Structure 1
Amino acid sequence: MYWTLELARHLDDAPWPATKDELIDYTIRSGSPVEVIENIQTLESEDDSYVYESMEEIWPDYPTQADFLFNQDEY
């Protein structure tokens, strides 16, 4: 499984919190690339009813606004 910003952006509008099956359904309905669906399918959880709260739970290194080094107040 690998994540890139381009792949992860397809989950920005996902219905969080969501189970693995709900995320797969969302990515199929929204026309996400096959790689996104494959990445979600390879998620390892104890059971299929585990609820993911956000993208950060799926990809711990997912960059947030705080990771970018610029001051939004200047713009």
Structure 2
Amino acid sequence: MATTITTKGQVTIPKPIRDRLGLEPGNAVDFELTPDGRVMLMKSGEQRTVSRFVALRGRAGAGLSTEEIMAFTRGEGAA
């Protein structure tokens, strides 16, 4: 869906998007820039749903070294 920016910097949010977000005249909206450069539009006061993958990012421990993984792959690791 495309829309045009007016000379005042205004845009019309397409009806299917307004319906999906439950937006009505007079509602406030928030814009959020995501790390990948996208812009998210949400109804003000709504909590953003975090992807289960994003929620787990950075939670892994140090883990095994490459040499340890290769040893397990070759069957040399302790059981």
> What is the TM-score normalised by the length of structure 1?
0.25
Q: Which fold has the larger relative contact order, with Cα–Cα distance below 8 Å and residues 6 or more apart in sequence?
A: 1
Bigger proportion of residues as strand: 2
Q: TM-score, normalised by structure 2?
A: 0.25
